[in-house]
Amino acid sequence: MEKKKKKKKSHFPFRLNLLFFSVFVLFSILILRLGFVQIVYGENFKRELERKEDVTIHNPVPRGKMLDRDYRVIVDNIPKSAITYTYMGESQTQMIETAEKLAKLIEKDTKKVTLRDMKDFWILKYPDLAEEKITDEEREKFKEKELKNADIYQFKLDRITGERIVNEDGLVTVTEEDTDLGMLTEGDLEVLAIYREFSSGYKYTQQIVKNEDVTPEEYAIVSENLQSLPGVDTTTDWERAYSYESTLKSILGGVTKSDEGLPAERLDHYLSMGYNRNDRVGKSQLELQYEEVLHGTKAKVRTVTDKQGNVVETQVVSDGNRGKDLVLTVDMDLQLQVEKIIEEELWALKKLPGTTLLDRAYVVLMDPKSGEVLTMAGKRIFKNEKTGEPEMWDDALGTFTMTYNVGSAIKGATILTGYKTGAITPGQRFNDAPIQIARSPVKGSWTYLGTVNDIEALKLSSNVYMFHTAIRIGEGYYRPNQPLPLKPQAWQTVRNNFAAFGLGVKTGIDLPNEGTGVTGNQTLPGLLMDLVIGQYDTYSPMQLAQYVSTIANGGYRMKPHLVKEIREPVDDGTEEIGPVFQTIQPTVLNTLDLQPGWMDRVHLGFKKVFQEPGGTAYPYFQGVTYDPAGKTGTAEAFYDGPERWRFGKEPPAVINLSLVSYAPSTNPEVAMAVLVPWAYQGDSENKANFRIGRRVMDTYFQLKGQ
């Protein structure tokens, strides 16, 4: 029998299993290795990746300029050397080390160093001594979580001895050497002042360390040592320069300082617009109103840092562009002349009897057809606190923020309101005899004027004509020595119509914080009569200018504006201005709803005021060649100025003087408002409104001729 051959056993399953096992072991090793790398070296690799990330730093650029209507520079930027610091994530220790190095190269003012700054710095400099300020009992409470880190730190601050003292030279010193703060030397305080600037900035934002009085030597030596000063750089900063010094400065506005940061009240707004927290921004008036135009586009610098946060590579992505330029409607030659007139007249008027309370005057000149403000001038007399002598200050701001009783200047609005409501008809006549309401003082004109019509009432400034107009608007019936009931809606009717001229409402001028005036809240019949002659509600010089412009141009309330054009910046070192970015077009806010001929009668009455014998302005404007028209105003008021505290509850009675005008009367090119609050008191009298108004109008047409 043939032996069967044994079947040969296959090794394939064994080898396959061995392969799978080997793969499993290798993958296990790989997973373990990845886990080990992630846990042990993860942070190092993360920092390595972060080192290669591009960080873009936005550096501020100079603001746009401001120019007058003839392109003369009013506000510019003056370049100046600056030393900056950009926080890139360094530790406190690294920042202090850099501050110590920098303190050896520059001189840093220590005036801004506070007592709290000194205590914080002392804790950093002497941590062991600071720990000794904490008792064992307090440490136990901290371990048991009865006290927090903030509590322990506050204990240290409270127990540090020593005070902050500023000597006669303005330098910060400390008390005796045996105090804790006495351990800080003058050199330490200088380091602290620099470190304070370092730590006040935000990550990846440039912070000014020193930009005042940086000497060429300081700038050069810091530039040479930048490699050993991480985060520090030398650059060119700027500050605002005013070509005409204080002229119009209160209107031009101000800019925050480099160490102020964004205003808290508008912080969220600016952050949403991409601003850094330490950016400088406009904080008042034109600088604030046109911030987004003036601010410019920031320069972009891309940086690469090493593991310690040191900058190892920089690349300028874009240089940025300074802000756009504002071309204003103001004529600086005219502005300067008008301010000079106000100053001269105020000083002269102060020498007259009864003018002890007179301290200010305002003038606004406007193009009645476009709303362009040609001049807005105001001056105030202040007493110098050190010398006790009076000084003249710019108060152009008061032309639209301060309001006063203005008197008869607004009677043109009263007449047109009377026409529109049907209270009076063109040519209607009233006897100018004084009005006597029961249990009220007699109310009359400045003198008895006979029987007058609407035009004569404007020319001669009849109060009684306006009183009868107000009575009819209120649907009342006047009987001497009897009560005079009027419908309450008469008040709103008058004010609504006055608002159509710009009286008692915002004019819309392109400046913040405009005042609208004080509206009386009583509704006695006699007060409605005061309202229609400008002796109840209060108005600003800018409102008067808009009002008279509305009459001058035939019934269009134009929005006053100070900016004429916005221009692209040019930085090629020439005197050329950039191309037009935007032209501010005239804006009609509303149109008066008038029948034909109504405005013509007011125009004629206003012309007679200035050009016909008997007109209240005729003695002061007779003979001029520029064909003026307008209205005068005298208001009885009570003093409410800075010396109000002297008089207790009974302020003295004063007279406010006003004047509104336009010229030429047939085709007006300029409208004027003059307001002199508290011009005189008692039996004294002066013609401040005429003296200033005549000289201003003469000056305008003289400059035009030149």
Give a three-class secondary structure readout of 257-308: CCCCCCCHHHHHHHHHCCCCCCCCCECCHHHHHCHHHHCCECEEEEEEECCC
Q: How far is 488 from 323, CA to CA, in rounded Å?
A: 53
pLDDT of residue 2: 46
Bridge-partner residues for 325, per DSSP?
Answer: 567
- Annotate 394-419 with DSSP letters as a single string: E-TTHHHH--B--GGGGHHHHHHHHH
Look at residue 46 and tell me whether its pLDDT is greater than 80. no
340-345: average pLDDT: 97
- 211-225, 312-326, 663-677 — which is least confidently predicted? 312-326
* pLDDT confidence band for 671 (50 / 70 / 90): very high
Bridge-partner residues for 239, per DSSP?
Answer: 78
Q: Which helix (H) or strand (E) holds 377?
A: strand 373-383
Burial 279-289 (b: 16+ CB within 10 A, else e): bbbbbbbbbbb
Q: How far is 220 from 266, CA to CA, in rounded Å?
A: 38
Direct distance between the N- and C-terminal alpha carbons of the chain, in angstroms, rounded to an integer: 146
Burial 357-369 (b: 16+ CB within 10 A, else e): bbbbbbbbbbbbb
Query: pLDDT per residue over 421-453, tens digit each?
Result: 999 999 999 999 999 998 888 999 999 999 999
pLDDT, averaged across the chain: 88
Locate tokens 């710009």: which residue? 502
Q: How far is 615 from 632, CA to CA, in rounded Å?
A: 9
- 279-283, 339-343, 453-457 — which is least confidently predicted? 279-283
116-141: average pLDDT: 91
Look at residue 223 and tell me whether its pLDDT is greater than 60. yes
* pLDDT > 70 in the chain, percent: 89
Query: pLDDT per residue over 456-494, tens digit each?
Result: 999 999 999 999 999 999 999 999 999 999 999 999 999
- Rg of the chain on CA atoms, in Å: 38
Q: Residue 42: what residue type?
A: G
Domain with CATH 3.40.710.10 in the chain: 333-555+592-705
Q: Which helix (H) or strand (E) holds 81?
A: strand 73-86
Q: Residue 608: what residue type?
A: K
Q: Residue 451: what residue type?
A: T
Look at residue 387 and tell me whether its pLDDT is greater than 90. no
Locate tokens 């001669």: which residue? 460
* pLDDT confidence band for 45 (50 / 70 / 90): low
Look at residue 178 and tell me whether its pLDDT is greater than 90. no
Domain with CATH 3.90.1310.10 in the chain: 52-84+238-328+563-591
Look at residue 8 and tell me whether its pLDDT is greater than 60. no
Q: Which helix (H) or strand (E) holds 375?
A: strand 373-383
pLDDT of residue 128: 92
pLDDT of residue 98: 92
Look at residue 647 and tell me whether its pLDDT is greater than 80. yes
Locate tokens 């440039």: which residue? 206
Q: How far is 642 from 395, CA to CA, in rounded Å?
A: 14
- 164-178, 223-237, 264-278 — which is least confidently predicted? 164-178
Burial 439-453 (b: 16+ CB within 10 A, else e): ebeebbbeeebeebb
pLDDT of residue 316: 65
Q: How far is 326 from 65, CA to CA, in rounded Å?
A: 6
| Known catalytic residue at 228 | no
Burial class (CB in 10 A: 0-12, 13-18, 19+), 175: middle
642-652: average pLDDT: 86
pLDDT of residue 79: 87
Look at residue 277 and tell me whether its pLDDT is greater than 60. yes
Comparison of pLDDT for 318 and 533, the residue scoring more: 533
Q: How far is 310 from 89, CA to CA, in rounded Å?
A: 9
Catalytic: which of 258, 284, 370, 408? 408
Q: How far is 162 from 178, CA to CA, in rounded Å?
A: 9
E strands, 543-685, in order: 556-558, 563-567, 580-583, 588-591, 629-638, 653-663, 670-681
- Can you identify the CATH homologous superfamily of domain 333-555+592-705? DD-peptidase/beta-lactamase superfamily (3.40.710.10)
pLDDT of residue 23: 77
Look at residue 3 and tell me whether its pLDDT is greater than 50. no
E strands, 171-245, in order: 172-174, 206-210, 232-242
- 111-115, 510-514, 575-579 — which is least confidently predicted? 575-579
Cα of 638 vs its chain's centroid, Å: 30
Contact 448, 498 (CB under 8 A): no
DSSP annotation of 5 reads P
Bridge-partner residues for 362, per DSSP?
Answer: 378, 675
pLDDT of residue 411: 98
> Which one, of 326, 268, 659, lies nearest residue 511 by Cα?
326
Query: pLDDT per residue over 243-272, tens digit each?
Result: 999 899 999 999 988 777 788 888 888 888
pLDDT of residue 4: 46
Cis peptide before 664 (omega within 30 of 0): yes
Report helix, strand or coil for 666. coil
Query: pLDDT per residue over 543-573, tens digit each?
Result: 999 999 999 999 999 999 999 999 999 865 6
* Helix locations, 426-560, DSSP H: 454-460, 463-473, 489-499, 525-532, 541-552
Length of the chain equals: 706
Q: How far is 599 from 604, CA to CA, in rounded Å?
A: 9
CATH top-level class of 52-84+238-328+563-591:
alpha beta
